[in-house]
Amino acid sequence: MGASLVVSGASKAFGGVFAVREVDLVVEPGELRAVIGPNGAGKSTLFALIGGQRAPDAGAVRLDGVRIDRLPAHRRAQLGVSVVFQAARIFPRMTALENVMVGAHTATHAGFLAAAVRWPAHYRSERLIVSRAREALARVGLADWSTRPAASLPLGQQRALQLARALCAEPRLLLLDEPASGLRAAERDELAALLADLQQEGLTMLLVEHDVGFVMRLADRVTVLDLGRVIAEGTPAEVRADPAVIAAYLGDRQGSAA
């Protein structure tokens, strides 16, 4: 079951200028929530506050009621938070399978001693991780690429590889930072279908994305930021028709949506 995410009064300033200011956001278990906004709206900063790359100056981030905004990234991962960044973060000299296996590091409990002396618990854990990594590669369409060096994969496949690594951790909350950026139309369609399947399985997702069309066909609800503040929130249809959103992001002040 997916986790609930609650952001309350989150603020972050740089040099006295607020990138995010008093943002409230509630994502229900199993919901696919999108965050959109024009350049400089604060989307990336909000994503970093939730994902753990930055700490808020004020406010809190809670996962199932547990405050996580001061926890390091590995502790958030242990609680079920997986992050897919806009830039594909891979280990270039490792194979695709080895890259994905890294995502399961929070699932193994065999410990260092078991690995050092090759106890049976280590082998069981290793087999489990390999099995999960192969399954995750298959989910993103990379089953045939498992033995290839990650650096040899095209950009679209490197993005898919990062998503597979996140799924290998069996997350309860998946954070995606502009996952459709730079993808071809067919690749965007495949990604949209996968995210829809993951939601059907109950995974909670927060999607930060520039591609409005991609967002509108996927998201249950959309939060719109402008100048670090929430200016609108609702279903895709409600947000698309909101005059403040049209003026700030989707089109001109006469209401022609982009």
pLDDT 10s digits, 17-73:
999 999 999 999 999 999 999 988 999 999 999 999 999 999 999 999 999 999 988
Give the model's confidence band at 250: pLDDT under 50 very low, under 70 low, under 90 confident, else very high.
Answer: low
| Residue that the structure tokens 């973060």 belong to | 89
pTM of the prediction? 0.88
Q: Look at residue 254 and tell me whether its pLDDT is greater than 80.
A: no
Boundaries of every domain in the chain: 5-80+171-250, 93-155
What pLDDT was estimated at residue 106?
62
CA dihedral 214, 216, 218, 223 (to 10 degrees): 110
Beta pairing class for 221-226 and 32-36: parallel
Run of H or E residues at 130: helix 120-139
What pLDDT was estimated at residue 120?
58
Beta pairing class for 204-208 and 32-36: parallel
Residues 6+ apart with CB under 8 A from 253: 246, 247
Given CA atoms 106, 109, 112, 118 in this order, what sign does their dihedral have?
A: negative
| Residue that the structure tokens 């965007």 belong to | 188
Gyration radius of the chain's alpha carbons: 19
Mean pLDDT in residue range 224-232:
95
Half-sphere CA count of 252, side-chain side, radius 13 A: 2
Class of domain 5-80+171-250: alpha beta
What pLDDT was estimated at residue 108?
53
Run of H or E residues at 62: strand 58-63
